[in-house]
Amino acid sequence: MDARLDYFSGPTADKIVKHVMAMGRTLREMPLPSTTQELVALRVSQINGCAACVDMHTKDAAAAGETTVRLHLVSVWREATVYTEAERAALELAEEGTRIADAAGGVSDEVWARAAKHYDEERLVALVYQVAFMNTVNRLNVLAQRPAGDYEPGQFG
């Protein structure tokens, strides 16, 4: 399977992709726990059907020491007992932030309040940007039909 489009190269891509990749690198430096970042990235990617990102974030999380049980249960996190209350709040915010068209008004006040209970404003900013960034990258990959399976942990820096 080949991608429809290589959005990493060419004159237009050269002007944009460096900024997108810089945002991803910057997010890794934010105060949001890296475990939470990977779980959120994985869940958003599952919702959006982005195989390349599911591949990437599953492998990166595993390489960072995440357990296979927690990785396998991300798609059904509500019924799983292996996540902290803070992680559950982040996953819930990630889901509503990804499915904003499904509910009038976007993210509900209740979901926001649960996230704010566990994350201070700086971490909430990082969480919101993580969700938005993943949705951006997922859409690029899905539009271009970027294939999955050949990602190596740490490949993108």
Q: How many CB atoms lie within 10 A of CB 110?
A: 10
Joined together, the tokens standing for residue 68 give 């296979």
pLDDT of residue 153: 83
pLDDT digits (tens, 9 = 90+) for 53-67: 999 999 999 998 999
For 11-144, CATH number out of 3.40.50.300, 1.10.10.60, 3.30.420.40, 1.20.1290.10 equals 1.20.1290.10
CA distance 86 to 84: 5
pLDDT of residue 106: 87
pLDDT digits (tens, 9 = 90+) for 31-86: 999 999 999 999 999 999 999 999 999 999 999 899 999 999 999 999 999 999 99
- pLDDT at 97 exceeding the cut of 90: yes
User: Domain map of the chain by residue range?
Assistant: 11-144
CA distance 154 to 157: 5
pLDDT of residue 157: 57
- pLDDT at 28 exceeding the cut of 60: yes
CA distance 47 to 54: 10
pLDDT band for 90, please (50, 70, 90 cuts): very high
Distances in Å between the Cα of 85 and the Cα atoms of 21, 50, 60 are 30, 26, 23
Residue type, 19: H
pLDDT digits (tens, 9 = 90+) for 100-156: 988 777 899 999 999 999 999 999 999 999 999 999 999 999 998 888 878 788 767
